[in-house]
Amino acid sequence: MVEPGALLYEGKAKKVYATPSPDRVVVEYKDDATAFNGQKRGTIEGKGAVNNRMSNLFFRLLEAHGVPTHFVEELSERRTVVRRVDIVPVEVVVRNLAAGSMAARLGIPEGTALRRPIVEFYYKNDELGDPLVTPDHVEVLGWASAEELEEIRRLALRVNEVLGEFLAAQNVRLVDFKLEFGRTGDGRIVLADEISPDTCRFWDLKTGEKLDKDRFRRDLGGVEQAYQEMMRRVEGGLGR
Amino acid sequence: MVEPGALLYEGKAKKVYATPSPDRVVVEYKDDATAFNGQKRGTIEGKGAVNNRMSNLFFRLLEAHGVPTHFVEELSERRTVVRRVDIVPVEVVVRNLAAGSMAARLGIPEGTALRRPIVEFYYKNDELGDPLVTPDHVEVLGWASAEELEEIRRLALRVNEVLGEFLAAQNVRLVDFKLEFGRTGDGRIVLADEISPDTCRFWDLKTGEKLDKDRFRRDLGGVEQAYQEMMRRVEGGLGR
Protein backbone atom coordinates (compact mmCIF):
# COMPACT_ATOMS: atom_id res chain seq x y z
CA MET A 1 0.00 0.00 0.00
CA VAL A 2 1.34 3.43 -1.00
CA GLU A 3 1.52 5.80 1.96
CA PRO A 4 1.07 9.47 1.02
CA GLY A 5 4.12 11.61 1.67
CA ALA A 6 4.47 15.40 1.68
CA LEU A 7 1.49 17.55 0.68
CA LEU A 8 2.38 18.96 -2.74
CA TYR A 9 -0.72 21.00 -3.48
CA GLU A 10 -4.14 21.75 -2.02
CA GLY A 11 -6.90 22.85 -4.39
CA LYS A 12 -10.56 23.67 -3.89
CA ALA A 13 -11.72 20.03 -3.91
CA LYS A 14 -8.56 17.91 -3.74
CA LYS A 15 -5.19 17.52 -2.06
CA VAL A 16 -2.19 16.02 -3.82
CA TYR A 17 0.58 14.16 -1.93
CA ALA A 18 4.00 12.95 -3.00
CA THR A 19 4.84 9.23 -3.04
CA PRO A 20 8.22 7.46 -2.96
CA SER A 21 7.95 7.18 -6.75
CA PRO A 22 8.69 10.44 -8.63
CA ASP A 23 6.12 9.66 -11.32
CA ARG A 24 3.25 8.83 -8.96
CA VAL A 25 1.19 11.06 -6.66
CA VAL A 26 -1.76 10.43 -4.34
CA VAL A 27 -4.94 12.44 -4.85
CA GLU A 28 -7.27 12.91 -1.88
CA TYR A 29 -10.84 14.09 -2.56
CA LYS A 30 -12.39 16.54 -0.07
CA ASP A 31 -16.03 17.29 0.79
CA ASP A 32 -15.38 21.04 0.30
CA ALA A 33 -17.48 22.52 -2.45
CA THR A 34 -17.01 25.85 -4.23
CA ALA A 35 -18.79 27.49 -7.14
CA PHE A 36 -18.56 30.61 -9.30
CA ASN A 37 -14.76 30.70 -9.13
CA GLY A 38 -14.69 30.29 -5.34
CA GLN A 39 -17.26 32.98 -4.53
CA LYS A 40 -19.67 30.40 -3.10
CA ARG A 41 -18.35 27.90 -0.56
CA GLY A 42 -19.81 24.98 1.35
CA THR A 43 -19.55 21.30 2.19
CA ILE A 44 -21.25 18.38 0.52
CA GLU A 45 -21.23 15.44 2.96
CA GLY A 46 -19.75 12.33 1.33
CA LYS A 47 -18.81 14.13 -1.92
CA GLY A 48 -15.12 13.25 -1.68
CA ALA A 49 -15.88 9.52 -1.49
CA VAL A 50 -18.36 9.68 -4.39
CA ASN A 51 -16.03 11.70 -6.62
CA ASN A 52 -13.05 9.45 -5.88
CA ARG A 53 -14.92 6.23 -6.59
CA MET A 54 -16.90 7.53 -9.58
CA SER A 55 -13.83 9.06 -11.24
CA ASN A 56 -11.95 5.79 -10.84
CA LEU A 57 -14.81 3.71 -12.25
CA PHE A 58 -15.08 6.08 -15.23
CA PHE A 59 -11.30 6.07 -15.78
CA ARG A 60 -11.27 2.27 -15.88
CA LEU A 61 -14.23 2.22 -18.27
CA LEU A 62 -12.48 4.76 -20.51
CA GLU A 63 -9.16 2.87 -20.44
CA ALA A 64 -11.08 -0.21 -21.61
CA HIS A 65 -12.30 1.89 -24.54
CA GLY A 66 -8.86 3.16 -25.54
CA VAL A 67 -8.69 6.47 -23.66
CA PRO A 68 -5.40 6.74 -21.72
CA THR A 69 -5.84 8.18 -18.19
CA HIS A 70 -3.68 9.05 -15.20
CA PHE A 71 -5.41 6.39 -13.02
CA VAL A 72 -3.17 3.84 -11.29
CA GLU A 73 -4.77 2.40 -8.14
CA GLU A 74 -7.54 3.25 -5.68
CA LEU A 75 -6.05 3.32 -2.17
CA SER A 76 -9.08 4.02 0.00
CA GLU A 77 -12.47 5.69 0.09
CA ARG A 78 -10.97 9.10 -0.71
CA ARG A 79 -7.44 8.42 -1.94
CA THR A 80 -6.11 7.26 -5.28
CA VAL A 81 -2.65 6.85 -6.79
CA VAL A 82 -2.35 8.54 -10.18
CA ARG A 83 0.46 9.19 -12.64
CA ARG A 84 2.19 12.48 -12.07
CA VAL A 85 1.59 14.59 -15.18
CA ASP A 86 2.27 18.11 -16.38
CA ILE A 87 -1.27 19.52 -16.56
CA VAL A 88 -2.15 21.33 -19.81
CA PRO A 89 -3.48 24.69 -18.52
CA VAL A 90 -6.70 24.41 -20.51
CA GLU A 91 -10.05 23.17 -19.21
CA VAL A 92 -11.81 21.19 -21.91
CA VAL A 93 -15.62 21.32 -21.91
CA VAL A 94 -17.76 19.06 -24.09
CA ARG A 95 -21.41 20.00 -24.50
CA ASN A 96 -24.34 18.01 -25.90
CA LEU A 97 -27.02 20.47 -24.77
CA ALA A 98 -26.65 24.20 -24.08
CA ALA A 99 -26.55 24.84 -20.31
CA GLY A 100 -24.69 26.85 -17.69
CA SER A 101 -22.24 29.48 -18.90
CA MET A 102 -22.75 28.72 -22.59
CA ALA A 103 -26.52 29.19 -22.37
CA ALA A 104 -26.06 32.45 -20.44
CA ARG A 105 -23.26 33.91 -22.60
CA LEU A 106 -24.98 33.19 -25.90
CA GLY A 107 -28.58 33.81 -24.83
CA ILE A 108 -29.72 30.25 -25.56
CA PRO A 109 -32.40 28.55 -23.41
CA GLU A 110 -30.88 25.95 -21.09
CA GLY A 111 -31.51 22.46 -22.44
CA THR A 112 -31.37 23.42 -26.14
CA ALA A 113 -30.01 20.41 -28.03
CA LEU A 114 -26.88 21.03 -30.11
CA ARG A 115 -26.67 19.60 -33.64
CA ARG A 116 -23.38 17.98 -32.71
CA PRO A 117 -21.21 18.03 -29.57
CA ILE A 118 -19.25 21.26 -29.03
CA VAL A 119 -15.74 21.24 -27.55
CA GLU A 120 -14.72 24.43 -25.71
CA PHE A 121 -11.38 25.42 -24.20
CA TYR A 122 -10.97 27.62 -21.13
CA TYR A 123 -7.66 29.04 -19.94
CA LYS A 124 -7.09 27.58 -16.44
CA ASN A 125 -6.49 30.77 -14.47
CA ASP A 126 -8.53 31.58 -11.36
CA GLU A 127 -7.42 35.23 -11.27
CA LEU A 128 -8.76 35.78 -14.79
CA GLY A 129 -11.91 33.74 -14.08
CA ASP A 130 -10.99 30.86 -16.43
CA PRO A 131 -11.80 32.75 -19.65
CA LEU A 132 -13.07 31.01 -22.78
CA VAL A 133 -10.33 30.81 -25.41
CA THR A 134 -10.13 29.62 -28.99
CA PRO A 135 -7.83 26.93 -30.41
CA ASP A 136 -5.80 29.82 -31.92
CA HIS A 137 -5.17 31.29 -28.45
CA VAL A 138 -4.10 27.92 -27.05
CA GLU A 139 -1.61 27.30 -29.87
CA VAL A 140 -0.20 30.81 -30.30
CA LEU A 141 0.16 31.42 -26.56
CA GLY A 142 1.93 28.07 -26.28
CA TRP A 143 -0.37 26.28 -23.81
CA ALA A 144 -0.51 23.26 -26.13
CA SER A 145 0.74 22.48 -29.62
CA ALA A 146 -1.66 22.11 -32.55
CA GLU A 147 -1.00 18.35 -32.49
CA GLU A 148 -1.66 18.09 -28.74
CA LEU A 149 -4.88 20.10 -29.11
CA GLU A 150 -6.06 17.82 -31.90
CA GLU A 151 -5.37 14.77 -29.70
CA ILE A 152 -7.13 16.41 -26.73
CA ARG A 153 -10.16 17.18 -28.88
CA ARG A 154 -10.27 13.63 -30.23
CA LEU A 155 -10.01 12.11 -26.75
CA ALA A 156 -12.63 14.49 -25.32
CA LEU A 157 -15.12 13.49 -28.01
CA ARG A 158 -14.32 9.82 -27.38
CA VAL A 159 -14.98 10.31 -23.64
CA ASN A 160 -18.31 11.88 -24.60
CA GLU A 161 -19.26 8.85 -26.70
CA VAL A 162 -18.25 6.25 -24.12
CA LEU A 163 -19.73 7.97 -21.07
CA GLY A 164 -22.79 9.26 -22.92
CA GLU A 165 -23.74 5.75 -24.00
CA PHE A 166 -22.97 4.21 -20.60
CA LEU A 167 -24.96 6.87 -18.73
CA ALA A 168 -27.96 6.74 -21.09
CA ALA A 169 -28.31 3.06 -20.13
CA GLN A 170 -28.45 4.24 -16.48
CA ASN A 171 -31.22 6.69 -17.39
CA VAL A 172 -28.87 9.68 -17.19
CA ARG A 173 -28.36 12.33 -19.87
CA LEU A 174 -24.78 13.57 -20.08
CA VAL A 175 -25.46 17.28 -20.71
CA ASP A 176 -21.89 18.57 -20.54
CA PHE A 177 -18.63 17.97 -18.67
CA LYS A 178 -15.19 19.42 -18.01
CA LEU A 179 -11.96 17.49 -18.51
CA GLU A 180 -8.31 18.22 -17.87
CA PHE A 181 -5.42 16.57 -19.65
CA GLY A 182 -1.77 16.10 -18.75
CA ARG A 183 1.53 15.25 -20.41
CA THR A 184 3.39 12.20 -19.12
CA GLY A 185 7.19 12.14 -18.84
CA ASP A 186 7.41 10.69 -22.35
CA GLY A 187 5.18 13.45 -23.78
CA ARG A 188 1.95 11.47 -24.17
CA ILE A 189 -1.41 13.19 -23.57
CA VAL A 190 -3.53 11.40 -20.93
CA LEU A 191 -6.84 12.25 -19.28
CA ALA A 192 -6.29 13.56 -15.73
CA ASP A 193 -8.21 15.33 -12.92
CA GLU A 194 -11.65 13.82 -12.15
CA ILE A 195 -15.00 12.98 -13.75
CA SER A 196 -17.77 13.39 -11.18
CA PRO A 197 -20.96 15.29 -10.35
CA ASP A 198 -18.61 18.23 -9.59
CA THR A 199 -17.40 18.36 -13.19
CA CYS A 200 -20.38 17.08 -15.21
CA ARG A 201 -24.04 17.98 -15.72
CA PHE A 202 -26.13 14.83 -15.25
CA TRP A 203 -29.88 15.07 -15.89
CA ASP A 204 -32.35 12.24 -15.30
CA LEU A 205 -33.23 11.10 -18.81
CA LYS A 206 -36.99 11.03 -18.16
CA THR A 207 -37.68 13.71 -15.53
CA GLY A 208 -34.81 16.11 -16.31
CA GLU A 209 -33.99 16.19 -12.58
CA LYS A 210 -30.49 17.53 -11.96
CA LEU A 211 -28.11 14.98 -10.38
CA ASP A 212 -24.98 17.11 -10.12
CA LYS A 213 -23.32 20.15 -8.58
CA ASP A 214 -25.91 22.52 -10.06
CA ARG A 215 -28.06 21.50 -7.01
CA PHE A 216 -25.37 23.19 -4.87
CA ARG A 217 -24.68 26.11 -7.25
CA ARG A 218 -28.37 26.95 -7.58
CA ASP A 219 -29.50 26.08 -4.03
CA LEU A 220 -31.89 23.37 -5.23
CA GLY A 221 -31.58 21.19 -2.13
CA GLY A 222 -31.03 17.41 -2.11
CA VAL A 223 -27.37 17.86 -2.98
CA GLU A 224 -26.00 14.85 -1.04
CA GLN A 225 -28.86 12.66 -2.25
CA ALA A 226 -28.12 13.55 -5.89
CA TYR A 227 -24.44 12.56 -5.51
CA GLN A 228 -25.44 9.26 -3.85
CA GLU A 229 -28.08 8.54 -6.50
CA MET A 230 -25.53 9.07 -9.29
CA MET A 231 -23.10 6.77 -7.46
CA ARG A 232 -25.78 4.08 -7.24
CA ARG A 233 -26.59 4.33 -10.94
CA VAL A 234 -22.93 4.22 -12.03
CA GLU A 235 -22.13 1.25 -9.79
CA GLY A 236 -25.32 -0.46 -10.91
CA GLY A 237 -24.37 -0.01 -14.55
CA LEU A 238 -20.99 -1.60 -13.93
CA GLY A 239 -22.50 -4.50 -11.95
CA ARG A 240 -20.91 -3.49 -8.64
CA MET B 1 -25.82 60.03 -58.99
CA VAL B 2 -27.70 57.69 -56.64
CA GLU B 3 -30.01 59.61 -54.30
CA PRO B 4 -30.56 57.90 -50.93
CA GLY B 5 -34.15 56.79 -50.33
CA ALA B 6 -35.80 55.58 -47.12
CA LEU B 7 -33.69 55.17 -43.97
CA LEU B 8 -33.41 51.41 -43.45
CA TYR B 9 -31.27 51.32 -40.33
CA GLU B 10 -29.39 53.63 -37.99
CA GLY B 11 -26.49 52.20 -36.03
CA LYS B 12 -24.01 53.73 -33.60
CA ALA B 13 -21.73 55.15 -36.32
CA LYS B 14 -23.62 54.77 -39.59
CA LYS B 15 -26.99 55.16 -41.29
CA VAL B 16 -28.12 52.93 -44.13
CA TYR B 17 -30.55 54.13 -46.83
CA ALA B 18 -32.44 52.28 -49.54
CA THR B 19 -31.78 53.00 -53.22
CA PRO B 20 -33.94 52.35 -56.29
CA SER B 21 -31.94 49.15 -56.80
CA PRO B 22 -32.88 46.30 -54.42
CA ASP B 23 -29.29 45.05 -54.24
CA ARG B 24 -27.69 48.42 -53.45
CA VAL B 25 -27.83 50.59 -50.33
CA VAL B 26 -26.22 53.87 -49.35
CA VAL B 27 -24.11 54.02 -46.19
CA GLU B 28 -23.70 57.37 -44.42
CA TYR B 29 -20.90 57.72 -41.86
CA LYS B 30 -21.63 59.80 -38.73
CA ASP B 31 -19.30 61.66 -36.36
CA ASP B 32 -20.97 59.95 -33.37
CA ALA B 33 -18.56 57.84 -31.37
CA THR B 34 -19.37 55.15 -28.81
CA ALA B 35 -17.21 52.74 -26.88
CA PHE B 36 -17.57 49.87 -24.41
CA ASN B 37 -20.78 48.61 -26.02
CA GLY B 38 -22.39 52.08 -26.02
CA GLN B 39 -21.60 52.96 -22.40
CA LYS B 40 -19.31 55.83 -23.47
CA ARG B 41 -20.62 58.33 -26.02
CA GLY B 42 -19.23 61.38 -27.76
CA THR B 43 -18.49 63.06 -31.07
CA ILE B 44 -15.29 63.00 -33.07
CA GLU B 45 -15.33 65.97 -35.46
CA GLY B 46 -14.68 64.87 -39.06
CA LYS B 47 -14.67 61.16 -38.19
CA GLY B 48 -17.48 60.29 -40.61
CA ALA B 49 -15.60 61.78 -43.56
CA VAL B 50 -12.33 60.04 -42.60
CA ASN B 51 -13.98 56.66 -42.08
CA ASN B 52 -15.93 56.86 -45.33
CA ARG B 53 -12.92 57.82 -47.43
CA MET B 54 -10.43 55.51 -45.69
CA SER B 55 -12.75 52.49 -45.87
CA ASN B 56 -13.29 53.08 -49.59
CA LEU B 57 -9.57 53.45 -50.28
CA PHE B 58 -8.88 50.23 -48.36
CA PHE B 59 -11.72 48.38 -50.10
CA ARG B 60 -10.33 49.36 -53.52
CA LEU B 61 -6.82 48.30 -52.48
CA LEU B 62 -8.17 44.97 -51.23
CA GLU B 63 -10.23 44.36 -54.39
CA ALA B 64 -7.02 44.90 -56.37
CA HIS B 65 -5.49 42.13 -54.25
CA GLY B 66 -8.31 39.64 -54.77
CA VAL B 67 -10.48 40.32 -51.72
CA PRO B 68 -14.15 40.79 -52.74
CA THR B 69 -15.89 43.66 -50.91
CA HIS B 70 -19.31 45.31 -50.81
CA PHE B 71 -17.90 48.61 -52.18
CA VAL B 72 -19.60 50.08 -55.27
CA GLU B 73 -19.16 53.87 -55.51
CA GLU B 74 -18.29 56.80 -53.28
CA LEU B 75 -21.10 59.37 -53.52
CA SER B 76 -19.85 62.18 -51.34
CA GLU B 77 -17.71 63.02 -48.33
CA ARG B 78 -19.82 60.81 -46.06
CA ARG B 79 -21.90 58.64 -48.36
CA THR B 80 -21.08 55.50 -50.32
CA VAL B 81 -23.10 53.04 -52.38
CA VAL B 82 -22.46 49.44 -51.34
CA ARG B 83 -23.92 46.07 -52.27
CA ARG B 84 -26.76 45.02 -50.06
CA VAL B 85 -25.64 41.86 -48.26
CA ASP B 86 -26.93 39.56 -45.56
CA ILE B 87 -24.47 40.27 -42.74
CA VAL B 88 -22.94 37.20 -41.06
CA PRO B 89 -23.65 37.89 -37.35
CA VAL B 90 -20.03 37.36 -36.36
CA GLU B 91 -17.42 40.08 -35.83
CA VAL B 92 -14.05 38.87 -37.06
CA VAL B 93 -10.99 40.20 -35.25
CA VAL B 94 -7.44 39.68 -36.52
CA ARG B 95 -4.61 40.36 -34.09
CA ASN B 96 -0.86 40.73 -34.69
CA LEU B 97 -0.07 42.01 -31.19
CA ALA B 98 -2.03 41.43 -27.97
CA ALA B 99 -4.02 44.57 -27.08
CA GLY B 100 -7.43 45.67 -25.84
CA SER B 101 -9.86 42.97 -24.73
CA MET B 102 -7.53 40.09 -25.57
CA ALA B 103 -4.71 41.50 -23.43
CA ALA B 104 -7.13 42.12 -20.55
CA ARG B 105 -9.00 38.77 -20.73
CA LEU B 106 -5.84 36.66 -20.93
CA GLY B 107 -3.59 38.73 -18.65
CA ILE B 108 -1.04 39.51 -21.39
CA PRO B 109 0.79 42.86 -21.46
CA GLU B 110 -0.52 45.13 -24.22
CA GLY B 111 1.85 45.12 -27.17
CA THR B 112 3.04 41.52 -26.76
CA ALA B 113 3.87 40.20 -30.24
CA LEU B 114 2.01 37.05 -31.30
CA ARG B 115 3.92 34.23 -33.02
CA ARG B 116 1.41 34.33 -35.85
CA PRO B 117 -1.79 36.33 -36.45
CA ILE B 118 -4.80 35.19 -34.42
CA VAL B 119 -8.34 35.25 -35.83
CA GLU B 120 -11.15 35.62 -33.28
CA PHE B 121 -14.91 35.48 -33.75
CA TYR B 122 -17.42 37.44 -31.65
CA TYR B 123 -21.18 36.91 -31.76
CA LYS B 124 -22.68 40.22 -32.95
CA ASN B 125 -25.22 40.85 -30.19
CA ASP B 126 -25.21 44.12 -28.24
CA GLU B 127 -27.47 42.78 -25.47
CA LEU B 128 -25.01 39.97 -24.75
CA GLY B 129 -22.00 42.32 -25.10
CA ASP B 130 -20.67 40.70 -28.31
CA PRO B 131 -19.25 37.60 -26.58
CA LEU B 132 -16.18 35.76 -27.89
CA VAL B 133 -17.19 32.50 -29.55
CA THR B 134 -15.31 29.57 -31.06
CA PRO B 135 -15.60 28.24 -34.62
CA ASP B 136 -17.61 25.35 -33.11
CA HIS B 137 -20.22 27.78 -31.74
CA VAL B 138 -20.51 29.59 -35.07
CA GLU B 139 -21.05 26.36 -37.01
CA VAL B 140 -23.28 24.48 -34.57
CA LEU B 141 -25.48 27.50 -33.81
CA GLY B 142 -25.84 28.06 -37.55
CA TRP B 143 -24.41 31.59 -37.85
CA ALA B 144 -22.17 30.46 -40.71
CA SER B 145 -21.35 27.12 -42.31
CA ALA B 146 -17.95 25.48 -41.87
CA GLU B 147 -17.16 26.37 -45.50
CA GLU B 148 -18.19 30.01 -45.05
CA LEU B 149 -16.14 30.27 -41.88
CA GLU B 150 -13.09 28.85 -43.65
CA GLU B 151 -13.52 31.42 -46.44
CA ILE B 152 -14.01 34.24 -43.89
CA ARG B 153 -10.84 33.20 -42.07
CA ARG B 154 -8.86 33.02 -45.31
CA LEU B 155 -10.07 36.46 -46.43
CA ALA B 156 -9.44 38.02 -42.99
CA LEU B 157 -5.83 36.81 -43.04
CA ARG B 158 -5.43 38.11 -46.60
CA VAL B 159 -6.74 41.53 -45.48
CA ASN B 160 -4.16 41.43 -42.70
CA GLU B 161 -1.34 40.75 -45.19
CA VAL B 162 -2.38 43.42 -47.69
CA LEU B 163 -3.16 46.18 -45.18
CA GLY B 164 -0.28 45.28 -42.85
CA GLU B 165 2.24 45.64 -45.66
CA PHE B 166 0.67 48.84 -47.03
CA LEU B 167 0.50 50.46 -43.59
CA ALA B 168 4.03 49.49 -42.60
CA ALA B 169 5.22 51.49 -45.62
CA GLN B 170 3.29 54.47 -44.14
CA ASN B 171 5.09 53.95 -40.82
CA VAL B 172 1.99 52.44 -39.19
CA ARG B 173 1.79 49.13 -37.33
CA LEU B 174 -1.50 47.30 -37.85
CA VAL B 175 -2.00 45.94 -34.31
CA ASP B 176 -5.47 44.45 -34.75
CA PHE B 177 -8.75 45.11 -36.56
CA LYS B 178 -12.39 44.05 -36.74
CA LEU B 179 -14.12 42.99 -39.95
CA GLU B 180 -17.64 42.03 -40.88
CA PHE B 181 -18.62 39.87 -43.81
CA GLY B 182 -21.85 39.48 -45.76
CA ARG B 183 -23.47 37.05 -48.16
CA THR B 184 -24.48 38.37 -51.58
CA GLY B 185 -27.71 37.27 -53.30
CA ASP B 186 -25.79 34.47 -55.02
CA GLY B 187 -24.31 33.25 -51.73
CA ARG B 188 -20.78 34.60 -52.09
CA ILE B 189 -18.93 35.88 -49.00
CA VAL B 190 -17.73 39.50 -49.37
CA LEU B 191 -16.05 41.91 -46.98
CA ALA B 192 -18.56 44.51 -45.69
CA ASP B 193 -18.89 47.21 -42.97
CA GLU B 194 -15.87 49.56 -42.70
CA ILE B 195 -12.10 49.58 -42.10
CA SER B 196 -11.13 52.75 -40.25
CA PRO B 197 -9.57 54.10 -37.05
CA ASP B 198 -12.91 53.10 -35.42
CA THR B 199 -12.33 49.43 -36.21
CA CYS B 200 -8.52 49.09 -36.22
CA ARG B 201 -5.65 49.68 -33.83
CA PHE B 202 -2.98 51.74 -35.64
CA TRP B 203 0.29 52.46 -33.81
CA ASP B 204 3.06 54.66 -35.17
CA LEU B 205 5.76 52.17 -36.13
CA LYS B 206 8.57 54.12 -34.45
CA THR B 207 7.00 55.96 -31.50
CA GLY B 208 4.12 53.57 -30.73
CA GLU B 209 1.75 56.56 -30.64
CA LYS B 210 -1.87 55.47 -30.97
CA LEU B 211 -3.60 56.75 -34.13
CA ASP B 212 -7.05 55.24 -33.62
CA LYS B 213 -10.20 55.16 -31.50
CA ASP B 214 -8.27 54.11 -28.38
CA ARG B 215 -7.51 57.85 -28.02
CA PHE B 216 -11.27 58.35 -27.51
CA ARG B 217 -11.85 55.15 -25.45
CA ARG B 218 -8.97 55.95 -23.10
CA ASP B 219 -9.31 59.76 -23.00
CA LEU B 220 -5.83 60.30 -24.45
CA GLY B 221 -6.69 63.58 -26.23
CA GLY B 222 -5.76 64.45 -29.82
CA VAL B 223 -8.55 62.25 -31.16
CA GLU B 224 -9.45 64.31 -34.25
CA GLN B 225 -5.77 64.89 -35.02
CA ALA B 226 -5.07 61.14 -34.96
CA TYR B 227 -7.89 60.43 -37.44
CA GLN B 228 -6.62 63.20 -39.75
CA GLU B 229 -3.02 62.00 -39.47
CA MET B 230 -4.05 58.45 -40.44
CA MET B 231 -6.03 59.83 -43.39
CA ARG B 232 -2.96 61.77 -44.56
CA ARG B 233 -0.75 58.69 -44.33
CA VAL B 234 -3.22 56.43 -46.17
CA GLU B 235 -3.78 58.99 -48.96
CA GLY B 236 -0.05 59.62 -49.18
CA GLY B 237 0.63 55.90 -49.54
CA LEU B 238 -1.85 55.69 -52.40
CA GLY B 239 -0.43 58.77 -54.09
CA ARG B 240 -3.57 60.87 -53.61
Residues A79 and A127 in one domain: no
Residue (of A151, A146, A125) closest to A135 by Cα position = A146
Residues A102 and A47 in one domain: no
Q: How far apart are CA B103 and CA A145, in angstroms?
A: 21
Residues B139 and B218 in one domain: yes
Residues A119 and A217 in one domain: yes
Q: How far apart are CA A47 and CA A50, in angstroms?
A: 5
Which chain B residue lies closest to A116 (C-alpha atoms)? B140
Does the residue B99 lie in any domain? Answer: yes
Binding-face residues of B in 107-146 toward A, CB within 8 A: 107-108, 114-116, 118-121, 123, 125, 127-128, 131-137, 140-142
Does the residue B161 lie in any domain? Answer: yes
Residues A185 and A94 in one domain: yes
Residue after which a domain boundary falls, among A83, A98, A113 = A83
Residue B127: its chain A contacts at CB < 8 A? 107
Residues B93 and B78 in one domain: no
Query: What does pLDDT average to over chain A?
Result: 96
Residues B51 and B106 in one domain: no
Domain CATH for A24: 3.30.200.20
Residues A183 and A110 in one domain: yes
CB contact under 8 A, A134 and B135: yes
Pick among B97, B140, B176 to test the A interface (most A CBs inside 10 A): B140
Does the residue A191 lie in any domain? Answer: yes
CB contact under 8 A, A135 and B135: yes
Domain CATH for A218: 3.30.470.20
Residues B104 and B217 in one domain: yes
Are B197 and B44 a contacting pair, CB within 8 Å? no
Domain count, chain A: 2
Residue A106: its chain B contacts at CB < 8 A? 123, 128, 131, 133, 137, 141
Does the residue B144 lie in any domain? Answer: yes
Residue after which a domain boundary falls, among A83, A116, A141 = A83
Residue after which a domain boundary falls, among A83, A101, A117 = A83
Residues A153 and A165 in one domain: yes
Q: Which of B230-237's residues contact partners 24+ apart within 8 Å by CB, and which partners?
A: B230/B50, B230/B54, B230/B172, B230/B197, B230/B202, B231/B50, B231/B53, B231/B54, B233/B167, B233/B170, B233/B171, B233/B172, B234/B54, B234/B57, B234/B58, B234/B167, B234/B170, B235/B53, B235/B57, B236/B170, B237/B166, B237/B167, B237/B169, B237/B170
Does the residue A236 lie in any domain? Answer: no
Confidence (pTM): 0.94
Residues A105 and A52 in one domain: no
Does the residue B126 lie in any domain? Answer: yes
Does the residue A233 lie in any domain? Answer: no
How many Å lie between the alpha carbon of B136 and the closest alpha carbon of chain A?
6
Instruction: Return all residues near A117 (Cβ < 8 A) that are at least 6 apart.
Output: A94, A95, A96, A157, A160
The pLDDT tens digits for A165-192 are 999 999 999 999 999 999 999 999 999 9
Each residue's pLDDT expressed in tens, for chain B with a length of 240 residues? 567 899 999 999 999 999 999 999 999 999 999 999 889 999 999 999 999 999 999 999 999 999 999 999 999 999 999 999 999 999 999 999 999 999 999 999 999 999 999 999 999 999 999 999 999 999 999 999 999 999 999 999 999 999 999 999 999 999 999 999 999 999 999 999 999 999 999 999 999 999 999 999 999 999 999 999 999 999 999 987
Q: How far apart are CA B63 and CA B78, in angstroms?
A: 21
ipTM: 0.91
Tell me the residue range of the domain where B163 lies: 86-222
Residues B39 and B153 in one domain: no
